[in-house]
């Protein structure tokens, strides 16, 4: 059985990075509820474990140098958040041909303009396609391939 919390981590990371990429280079407020869904704090005002896991994933992305932020908004959001240079560069980079061939949702479109083919070969395109598919396995594999399987990636701190 898969570790659900790890699958949720990969999904949270993918959603957060896709949101930040779509806004780049603007700084945005990154809300946990926009990533993990609505939360209903308990009688003491404490957030659910799921909410806190997502918030922790956002903080972890910052600690590892994938994003920068100015402040937290309680435990509900990161304020003035932007992708780091290394994360933006990585998401914009072409993914290996084997990876794009495996996860390309529209194979055989060889008549596409070069610019479209180039965009469809990037890690961000694969990440968005994985999120659109809703497949936890695909999301996990793409996030791992994008950030964790390349030993040459050194995020800036």
> How do residues 102-124 score in pLDDT, each as one tens digit?
877 565 556 777 777 777 889 99
> Is 130 in contact with 14 (CB distance < 8 Å)?
yes
Task: Look at residue 157 and tell me if it is in a domain.
Answer: no
Task: Look at residue 37 and tell me if it is in a domain.
Answer: yes
Residue 153, pLDDT > 50, answer no
CA distance 79 to 70: 6
Given this model, what pLDDT does residue 151 score? 45
Can you tell me whether residue 101 is helix, strand or coil? helix
Task: Work out the average pLDDT over 55-76.
Answer: 97
pTM, to two decimals: 0.86
Looking at the structure of the chain, the number of domains it has is 1
- What residue numbers bound the domain in which 113 lies? 4-148
Structure tokens, 85: 């240079």
Task: Look at residue 154 and tell me if it is in a domain.
Answer: no
State the DSSP H helix or E strand holding residue 136, giving kind and residue range, or none if neither.
helix 136-143
Task: Look at residue 156 and tell me if it is in a domain.
Answer: no
Share of the chain above pLDDT 70, in %: 89
When pLDDT is cut at 50, 70 and 90, the band that residue 139 belongs to is very high
Kindly state the DSSP code that residue 105 receives in the 8-state scheme. S
Given this model, what pLDDT does residue 14 score? 98
Give the contacts of 82 (CB within 8 A, at least 6 positions apart).
Answer: 20, 23, 24, 25, 26, 27, 28, 67, 68, 69
Structure tokens, 103: 């996860």
Task: Look at residue 11 and tell me if it is in a domain.
Answer: yes
């Amino acid at each position: 059985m898969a570790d659900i919390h790890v699958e949720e981590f990969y999904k949270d990371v993918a959603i957060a990075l896709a949101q930040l990429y779509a806004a780049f280079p603007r700084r945005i407020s990154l809300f946990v509820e926009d990533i993990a869904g609505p939360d209903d704090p308990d009688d003491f005002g404490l957030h659910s474990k799921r909410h806190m896991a997502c918030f922790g994933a956002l903080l972890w992305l910052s600690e590892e140098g994938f994003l920068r932020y100015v402040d937290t908004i309680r435990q509900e959001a990161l304020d003035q958040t932007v992708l780091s240079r290394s994360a933006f560069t990585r998401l914009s980079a072409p993914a290996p041909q084997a990876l794009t061939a495996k996860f390309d949702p529209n194979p055989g479109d060889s008549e596409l303009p070069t610019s479209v083919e180039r965009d469809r070969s990037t890690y961000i395109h694969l990440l968005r396609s994985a999120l659109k598919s809703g497949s936890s396995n695909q999301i996990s594999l793409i996030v791992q391939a994008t950030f964790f399987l390349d030993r040459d990636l050194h995020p800036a701190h």
